[in-house]
Amino acid sequence: MPSRSAAIRRLFALSLSGFALLAGSAQAAGFDCKRARTTVEISICADPGLSSLDSEMNDLYRQIQSETVGVDGETGRRIDPIAAEQQRWLARRNACVDRACLDRAYRDRLAQMKRDWSDALQPSASAPGPAVYRYERHGDFKIFIADFRRAVAAGDRAAVAKMTAQPFLDYSQGESCLDRPEPCDAEQRSHDASASNEREVIGLYDRIITAAVRSALQANKIRAYSQRIDAAKDENGEVQAPGPIGPGEYLLDSEDVYAQRVFKKVGGVYKLQRVPFYS
Domain extent at residue 92: 4-121
CA distance 217 to 275: 15
pLDDT at 8 (0 to 100): 41
Is residue 127 in a domain? no
260 — pLDDT class (breaks 50, 70, 90): very high
Dist CA 117 CA 175 (whole Å): 41
Residue 43: which of 15, 69, 10 has the closest Cα? 15
Please give the Cα distance from 165 to 92 (Å, whole number): 47
Asked whether residue 258 falls in the same domain as residue 144, the answer is yes
pLDDT score recorded for residue 87:
93
Contact 244, 236 (CB under 8 A): no
Counting every residue written for the chain, the total comes to 279
Whether 247 maps to a domain, the answer reads yes
User: Which is more confidently placed, 124 or 120?
Assistant: 120
State how far the Cα of 185 lies from the Cα of 207, in Å rounded to an integer.
18
What's the pLDDT at 33?
Answer: 86
Does one domain contain both 116 and 196?
Answer: no
Domain endpoint, select from 92, 121, 150: 121
- CA dihedral defined by 216, 221, 225, 230, rounded to 10 degrees? -70
Which residues are within 8 A (CB) of 144 and not within 5 positions of it... i.e. 6 or more apart?
137, 138, 163, 263, 269, 270
Residue 148 shares a structural domain with residue 223: yes
The pairing of strands 222-224 and 250-252 is antiparallel
Residue 83 has, within 13 A of its CA and on its CB side, a CA count of: 9
The residues, ordered by sequence, that sit 6+ positions from 6 with a Cβ below 8 Å of its Cβ are none
Q: Which of 121, 153, 180 is the last residue of a domain?
A: 121
Confidence of residue 142 (pLDDT cuts 50, 70, 90): confident
Span 231-259, pLDDT tens digits = 877 777 676 777 889 999 999 998 888 89
